[in-house]
Amino acid sequence: MGRLENKVALVTGAASNPGLGRTTAMRLAEEGASLVVTDVDLAGAEATAKDIIAAGGKAIALEQDVTDEARWAAVMQVTEETYGGLDVLVNNAGIAVLVPLEQMTLDQFNRQIDVNLTSVFLGCREAVKAMKKRGGGSIINLSSVAGLVGLQTTVAYGAAKGGVRIMSKAVAIEAAKYNIRCNSVHPGVIWTNMQAQATGTSDPSSLDASVARIPLGRAGEPMDIANSILYLASDESNYVTGTEMVVDAGMTAQ
């Protein structure tokens, strides 16, 4: 307990349950952070904030379309007015539309770039402005194993997530002079609502978790990612910036 005491954290895409954003927000709050949880699903974000408060933490919920530039500025203003500043940003919000190349429409491609990549640019830009006032901070951007290696049906998703990886490195270099760190996290097969929607299944046991695909032989859970984000958000990682944390049970090691 207390690894994030006196820190303020903003987590986007924090409504879905089970989901990486919600689990991360809960985990950061457990360690003492004051949370701002955002999502296009305001009711879901409010449910996350309510659960954090019920567990003894601090949280507010805000509606946010992460592709809306003006809304990013407004969310940051509320964050600063409520808590006095920002120390941690988790750019988690994202979508996955897994479609074979020849069937993918331009609208589907552009939408994934907007939600998964452009939103990260907007979040990083606003976070750097806010964190400079605090003398530093940590930005954690959610990428994917699809941002490291080529996978079937991920032409748009992989392009966006690969962009997140390189953008994170560029932000890390540019923001280092302000004591702001920026890293990317690359989940493998994690059972979440987004995974269910992308794969068209409601049964986690139906996922291909074979040793040939996943050396540890099992799908991961949202807490596996949340704990990795916690490390990058905390001062324990104060010498870590511009790198990627791969949490994939060995998928990309082969």
Is 17 exposed, middle or buried, given 0-12, 13-18 or 19+ CB atoms closer than 10 A? middle
CA angle 156, 70, 244 (to 5 degrees): 45
Is 134 exposed, middle or buried, given 0-12, 13-18 or 19+ CB atoms closer than 10 A? middle
Q: Are strands 137-142 and 244-247 parallel, antiparallel or unpaired?
A: unpaired
Is 231 exposed, middle or buried, given 0-12, 13-18 or 19+ CB atoms closer than 10 A? middle
Widest CA span in the chain: 50
Catalytic sites, residue numbers: 157
